[in-house]
Amino acid sequence: MYYRTPELNEKLYLHYKGFHTIKNLEQFTDLKCLYFEGNGCKKLAGLEKNVKLRCLFIQENVIPTIEGLDTLTDLRQLDLSSNIISHVQGLEKLTILDNLNLKGNKLGQTKDSCVDCIKGLLDCPSITTVDLSQNFLKDPALVDEVLCKMPNLKVLYCQGNPFVNKVPSYRKALIVKIPELMYLDDRPVFPEDRRRAEAYVKGGWDEERIEMKKIKKEKEDEYNANHEAFRLMIDDVKKQKAKE
């Protein structure tokens, strides 16, 4: 399934092979996508020469530290889920990284504060999608101190962390605090959701009910306007046929 000339291969499927280290890949100079999950790999190193890499799937290993990525400036998708990472770091040079998956790691399980554990996300402002679910993050302060300061964040997964239950009206609060958010945990954030959340934060359930009535009225008005426009269109067609 591969070209015999190493530099012609853009993808490598090396998952579930029992490789404990990443090495001898410098000959694949045009490598763009590497699948290396489920190998028991203990260190994220050995990819320094693969500068064209765009997607790295290295989940289900035993990697404790994010490192060795400084030369991978074309990297856009990084899957490090199901490892043993306790701190987010080493992302400073990844200027176009879009998707970061850290699900099922050890974030929040050290003596350091939860904010310190994930503040490394701020070193990579290009991130639009981040998965922090199924970790041990328990301090609600990380919402204001880190998540709200990510300028391009649009998709966020946090379920399975203790802090979720400590944030009052968690979903509504995050929708309001992160203006560009389009997807949170298990479902999308629609414009109607944002309006209701903003109303709730402003005045509680009473204000949200008022906003819900406004939304319902707007939908009814839109439906009636469309129905009337359709009726007028039919009338015009009938008049034109009558003239013929």
Instruction: Place 242 in a pLDDT band, splitting at 50, 70 and 90.
Output: confident
- Domains (range + CATH), the chain: 6-190 (3.80.10.10), 191-244 (no CATH)
Q: What are phi and psi of 49, to 5 degrees?
A: -90, -10
Report the pLDDT averaged over residues 167-192: 96
Contact present, 39 and 20 (Cβ < 8 Å): yes
The tens digit of pLDDT for each residue in 160-172 reads 999 999 999 999 9
What pTM did the predictor assign? 0.90
pLDDT at 244 over 90: no
Side chain identity at residue 96, one-letter code? I
Q: How many CB atoms lie under 10 A from the CB of residue 176?
A: 18
Give the tokens for residue 119. 């503040």
pLDDT at 14 over 90: yes
pLDDT at 144: 96
The tens digit of pLDDT for each residue in 104-155 reads 999 999 999 999 999 999 999 999 999 999 999 999 999 999 999 999 999 9
Whose CA is closest to 68, among 83, 47, 49, 54? 47
Q: What are phi and psi of 115, to 5 degrees?
A: -60, -45
156 vs 173: CA distance, rounded Å: 13
Vertex 231 angle, CA 229 and 235, to 5°:
115
Instruction: Place 43 in a pLDDT band, splitting at 50, 70 and 90.
Output: very high
pLDDT at 92 over 80: yes
209 vs 177: CA distance, rounded Å: 21
Give the tokens for residue 240. 């034109």
